[in-house]
Structure 1
Amino acid sequence: MTLRRQIMSARPAVVRHPSRFAPAIFELLNPIPYGLFVGTLIFDVTYMTTRNVFWGKGAAWLVTAGLIIAIIPRLLNLGHVWIQRRRAVSCIGKMDFWLNLVAIIAAIANALVHSRDAYAMVPENVVLSVVTVALLSIAHIAMAMDRLDLAEAAHE
């Protein structure tokens, strides 16, 4: 064996540790769209009952801001669930991804409904807001229950 091969074989293998930055950014940004979509639902219901244009315009801004801010956590979640294969992803993690994706599609449809004139957006805006918030609520509850199960398993 040559000296070069001996040196090459003596090098330690590079161990890649998972990034801590991406999960931190995900955990920071993931709840923000949920809050904005809940606000959209509240504004939509208020607009439906009062017919005050302020609430309709506010809901349109909230759903748009929620969609813009939802981009980064969803891309990080896409990388964690489907692209990165360092560790196994649970069934709950995949379900969370799909529920969030369908909720974002409903929110995009809701943003398009909010582009209508005045009261023409009612009742579709309320229905789409309820669908968006319900899907995100189910996803957040499932992930919280999954984390709770992991934490209980770590204590045993």
Structure 2
Amino acid sequence: MDRHGITALRFVEDTLSGEEVQALVAYHLADMQRHSPACKVHALPVAALRQPDVTFWSAWIGEAIAGICALRHLSDDHGELKSMRAAPEWRGHGVGEAMLAHLLSEARRRGYARVSLETGRTEPFHPAVALYRKHGFVPCPAFADYVIDDFSQCLTLDLSGPA
């Protein structure tokens, strides 16, 4: 497992019916519950990821699931990044960055002017926040039903500039 394998990363718009996909969603939810106050777990379960306003992808390297990610349609010009998670064995190998690139490409294809996300402020969330900031995400006011507080923060990326 090295960064060179990431070039073979294959994204599949997914129905969430496969066992590997459901297991990674369950792992993601359990990890969010472990690191977040109960009222601050905004990760989506399988049923919510199947809603019409959410497009969900699984990411694969060969026959191995490497990650999951989703994009929620908020309005004609605004999307939300959801459920980005690299499989534990693929963390640190560029899967998160590849998934972010995939989601941003899809957001631009849809014509969104911006994409936003909510995430935690505590140490377990620092690697994800660093990834988002590396790609130009900046703090923003709360959106959708989120509340910014000592635990939660919202970030956004303006997509109206060059890719």
TM-score (norm 1): 0.26
- Mark the structure with the bigger radius of gyration: 1
More strand by share: 2
More relative contact order, 1 or 2 (CA 8 Å, 6+ apart): 1
TM-score (norm 2): 0.25
